Structures are given as C-alpha cells and as structure tokens.
C-alpha cells in the first residue's frame, strides 16, 4: 500500500497528513471523534509508526466530585 500524504498546516509551518484507507476506518469503526497517539520506532532503515486509539471514559468524575457532602 502506498500512503497518500497531504501537505497542510498554518503559514510558516509544514505539516503532513497520512490518510487512513477507508476499508481500515470501517473495519476498526474509527470516527472523527476518536483521538490517537503516535509513536515512532526507527531500526536501521526501517520505520514503524504505531497509532493507538485513546479510550475515552464518559463516566469520568473529577477528584473534587467525590469530596462533596
């Protein structure tokens, strides 16, 4: 698979975006609301990009919420 890389970003900054193929998006049920972290591992000439989806906990409560009387 050849990645499709787009150039973008704000003036004076260079940003490149790596698109996820639609088949992968559908099979992993990825939505626009999902957030990912990216780690990069380089071993010689080989580069591995690892995207991890950040799990969102909708039942999250602040510490202060537990201290109310």
- Residue 33 gets the label, from left (phi > 0), alpha (psi -120 to 50) or beta, of alpha
Residue 28 lies inside a defined structural domain of this protein = yes
Residue 36: what are its φ and ψ, rounded to 5°? Answer: -130, 155
Residue that the structure tokens 């969102």 belong to: 56
How crowded is the C-beta side of 67, counted as CA atoms within 13 Å? Answer: 3
Which residue has better confidence, 47 or 58?
A: 47
The per-residue pLDDT for 7 is 72
CATH for 47:
2.10.260.10
**Number of domains the chain contains:** 1
Give yes or no for residue 39 having a pLDDT over 50.
Answer: yes
Residue 7 lies inside a defined structural domain of this protein = no
Average pLDDT over residues 51-64: 70
Residue 60 lies inside a defined structural domain of this protein = no
Using the 8-state DSSP alphabet, how is residue 54 labeled? P
Using alpha carbons, list the distances in angstroms from residue 8 to 28, 51, 52: 26, 20, 23
The per-residue pLDDT for 69 is 46
Average pLDDT over residues 54-69: 59
């Amino acid at each position: 698979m050849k990645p499709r890389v787009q150039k973008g970003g704000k003036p004076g900054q260079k940003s490149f975006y790596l698109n996820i193929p639609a088949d992968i998006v559908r099979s992993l049920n990825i939505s626009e609301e999902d957030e990912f972290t990216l780690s990069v591992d380089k071993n010689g000439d080989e580069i591995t990009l690892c995207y991890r989806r950040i799990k969102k906990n909708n039942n999250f409560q602040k510490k202060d919420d537990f201290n109310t009387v």
